[in-house]
Chain A
Amino acid sequence: MVDIAPEQARTALDAADRARHQVAEEVGLPRGYWWAMATGWLLLGVLGTVLPPWLAGIATVAFGVGHGVLAARLLDGRRRTDRLQVSAAVAGRRIPLVVVGMLFGLVAVTVLVALALDADGAGHAGIWAAVLTAAVVGFGGPEILRVLRRWVRA
């Protein structure tokens, strides 16, 4: 039998758990992803204002498809930095759902803000709503995702 006191074993388990948590903190998407998303958001806001609705609709679908293709590898949250790749077991399977849910939520926010601005008589309400959401995504995307992950324990 190994001559290790239970307190020592507990301390070792705590150290191993701390190390795992430190790696789990690295789960997320690269900063560049959020800024690309913010740029796309802004672009869609402008296109939605200047293009006819059917063309703006096509642009929105194209953006969604492009996002699905280009960001598919990133959405699992295991490649936030190029310094490590978090294991699938630690990252879990719910990160893509959390990110997509967050994006749907931000779409709803954009629409609500645009409607509110329009009702208030603001010109180019769609663009201003997109500017606001793009700023939120660009500056606060990683933090919002972190909070959402905590809420849903993903």
Chain B
Amino acid sequence: MTEARFDELIHPSTRLSLVATLAAADWAEFAFLKDRLQLSDSALSKQLTTLEEAGYVATERRLIGGRRKVRARLTSTGRDAFNAHIEALRAIVADAVAPSREPPA
């Protein structure tokens, strides 16, 4: 069972979508992420760098067919942080749905 832990680094919407996409894949190319998240090159690079500096993402540059391609993958630290963040979000929603425990007047 994953422990719930809210993660301020992952929570911003663009970064959350990026991490969620990477969590569902073993790896994804820069171009794929750019298309899916509808980000510019520089915006995606910035998000990846932030996550890489936190140790959540690892990137790899590969030369394929004479073209340089960047692959990104979630590290095990990043995957744990994402799972814990999702649990934290679920807990917030569950707390709101749970009936009040106040005794009747």
Contact = CB atoms under 8 A, between A and B. Distances in A.
Interface of A: 2, 4, 6, 9-10, 12-13, 15-20, 22-24, 78, 81-90
A88 B25 CA distance: 8
Secondary structure call for the B interface: helix
Interface residues of B, number: 28
Given A2-B6, A23-B24, A24-B24, A83 B31 contact: yes
A15 B16 CA distance: 8
Interface in B25-51: 25-29, 31-32, 36
A-B pairs, top 8 by smallest CB distance, nearest first, are: A6-B96, A19-B20, A23-B24, A84-B28, A9-B92, A16-B20, A83-B32, A85-B26
B40 to A, nearest CB: 18
A90 to B, nearest CB: 5
Contacts of B90: 9, 13
Given A83-B32, A85-B25, A86-B25, A6 B20 contact: no
A23 B16 CA distance: 14
